[in-house]
Structure 1
Amino acid sequence: VVALRSNANSKFFCAENGGQSSLIANQNTVSSWETFDLIVLSGDNVALKSHANGQYVSSETAGNSPLIANHTEVSSSETFRMVDCGNGKVAFIADNGKYVCADYFGMSALIANRTNINSWETFDLVHQPLSSREIS
């Protein structure tokens, strides 16, 4: 179980409105809306399953729409290549070949539309303790 803190604004990204709205990096603390199962699919390919609604994060419309946790199964739109940037920082490449970005210092929804890695495209991978529900 992980939370992801944006290096654009030092806030955690969140599946807003219980996953009904786009992901955005706007939270100072971590609760269920800010936690995800990081599922290794193969090699560097991962999927993120939101604890807000149990749905997978998707980069629909080839990255032209903001990321949202609204899919029950993993396909290419829910598969991200996780890039180790060192020092606990990661970046994610969506199926369109572009990096996920916390645009405008994290004030806009996360979207996969960048060709290079800078601070807006990197996230701190923060491991979260398992709850008693998750251990059993």
Structure 2
Amino acid sequence: MSSTDPPSTDRARLWRPALVGGAVGVALALPVYAQAGQGGPLLFVAGIVAGYLAPENVDAYAAGGRAGAVATLPLLVWFLFDSTDWFASLGSTAIAVGGGVIAATVIVAVGYLAGGIGAGFGGWLAVQFGRKDPA
């Protein structure tokens, strides 16, 4: 494959590093969120792992974004569970549901963005230190 060919969009090859990176992100971010309520910056690490593990012909940014989104899901559930009292105090069910949907969308989008940025760094690390092809 030459450097001018577009990256592969094969779903299996794209999701493999995303799921591994997401699992690492969950393992790192969930305990930090439980202790301090701030696990978001560690979603960047999920992207780094996914970007490093992504094969050369796979779009590392997409894999990292998906890793960030996967790592965000447990944090999202935890956040929504912790925030139910606040959402309930808004007075209107429609406003509470709308606020929850907007908050969930923003949280997943930030996770996707952090993972994608981390994947750029992870891909750079893979080039610098040698990319390992999965067995």
TM-score relative to the length of structure 2: 0.25
Q: Which has the higher strand share?
A: 1
* Greater length-normalized contact order (CA 8 Å, ≥ 6 residues apart): 2
Q: Which has the higher helix share?
A: 2
TM-score relative to the length of structure 1: 0.25
